[in-house]
């Protein structure tokens, strides 16, 4: 992310389109996202070895501020000129029912919660024929649908950055390569020592236990005298 240069956004300045970033930035962002996990509380976590460095965190914070500035609600006053450009360029199905000023006010009120950049791009698409039929002015719902498609990429990027920056960093629970090799050598040494020791459970002169079946017991009783059988029954 060293090639990324972002100027902090001023809340008083109008929003500008977020600058397109390098492929390396998006690859790194996707890598962080792939390492995100959820704990039992549903909170995002990142292993210590997978978390962003201090420089990367600063870059992500600046990018987050830029996206927040671009995605803030436009407000009625900022939206109205773009609505007017559609009303003057395309035919209006509501002509004669409402005057143009009242209609623009209704559109602006319905679309004021959207980002200005997205509304501007959506209105441009309708004027230039990339959306709609190129003849009739769109409804508020149609403008909103196109505007949300324009804002989708920025919102997805913002959500990913937010998840990375707010993820809880967990300790590195995995052993290093050096520790893994040392543990492997210690286990091999222990296995060799145990191999040379006699098994304390087994005895050299012990005989295996034999199971006496009911038929064997009956045969033993048949071979006894009556006096011996009487003594066993007592």
Reported as a single tens digit per residue, the pLDDT across 2-18 is 444 444 444 556 677 77
Higher pLDDT, 193 or 139: 139
What's residue 205's pLDDT? 57
| pLDDT of res. 75 | 92
pTM of the model: 0.61
Q: Pick the more confident residue, 197 or 45.
A: 45
Least confident of 18-27, 170-179, 220-229: 220-229
Task: Tell whether the model's pLDDT for residue 231 goes beyond 80.
Answer: no
Confidence of residue 172 (pLDDT cuts 50, 70, 90): low
The confidence band for 161, taking pLDDT boundaries of 50, 70 and 90, is very high
Q: Helix 140-166 to helix 100-111 angle, to the nearest 10 degrees?
A: 20
Crossing angle for the helix pair 54-71 and 140-166, to the nearest 10 degrees: 160
Reported confidence tier of residue 76, pLDDT bands at 50, 70, 90: very high
Query: Six-digit token pair at 37?
Result: 């996990």
Q: Is the pLDDT of residue 147 over 90?
A: yes
pLDDT, the chain, mean: 79
Q: Which residues are paired to 10 by β-bridges?
A: none
Q: How far is CA 132 from CA 67, 95, 101, 115, 141, in A?
A: 28, 18, 22, 20, 12
* Domain boundary assignment for the chain: 1-174
* Per-residue pLDDT tens over the stretch 86-123: 888 887 766 655 677 888 899 999 999 999 999 999 99
Pairwise pLDDT comparison (178 vs 117), residue with the higher score: 117
pLDDT at residue 150 tops 80: yes
- Note whether 158 and 68 are within 8 A (CB): yes
Provide mean pLDDT across the span 212-233: 57
Report pLDDT for 100. Answer: 78
Rounded CA-CA distance 234/228 in Å is 10
> Do 122 and 24 meet the contact criterion of CB atoms below 8 Å apart?
no
| Whole-number percent of the chain with pLDDT over 70 | 72
Q: Which range among 46-50, 125-129, 199-203 shows the weakest confidence by mean pLDDT? A: 199-203
> Residue range 47-62: average pLDDT?
88
Distance from C-alpha of 136 to C-alpha of 91, rounded to nearest angstrom: 5
Confidence band (pLDDT; 50, 70, 90) for 71? very high
């Amino acid at each position: 992310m060293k090639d990324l240069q972002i100027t902090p956004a001023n809340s008083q300045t109008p929003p500008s389109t977020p600058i397109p970033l390098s492929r390396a930035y998006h690859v790194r962002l996707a890598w962080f996202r792939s390492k995100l996990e959820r704990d039992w509380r549903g909170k995002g976590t990142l292993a210590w070895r997978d978390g962003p460095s201090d420089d990367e965190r600063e870059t992500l914070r600046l990018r987050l501020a830029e996206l927040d500035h671009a995605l803030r609600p436009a407000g009625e006053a900022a939206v109205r000129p773009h609505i007017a450009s559609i009303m003057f360029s395309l035919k209006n199905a509501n002509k004669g029912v409402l005057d143009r000023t009242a209609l623009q006010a209704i559109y602006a009120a319905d679309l004021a919660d959207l980002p200005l950049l997205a509304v501007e791009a959506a209105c441009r698409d309708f004027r230039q024929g990339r959306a709609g039929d190129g003849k009739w002015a769109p409804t508020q719902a149609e403008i909103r649908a196109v505007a949300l498609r324009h804002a989708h990429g920025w919102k997805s990027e913002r959500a990913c950055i937010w998840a990375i920056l707010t993820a809880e960093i967990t300790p590195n629970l995995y052993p290093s390569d050096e520790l893994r090799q040392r543990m492997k050598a210690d286990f091999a040494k222990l296995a060799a020592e145990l191999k040379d020791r006699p098994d304390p459970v087994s005895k050299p002169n012990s005989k295996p236990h034999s199971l006496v079946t009911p038929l064997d017991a009956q045969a033993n009783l048949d071979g006894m005298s009556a006096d011996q059988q009487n003594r066993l029954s007592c």
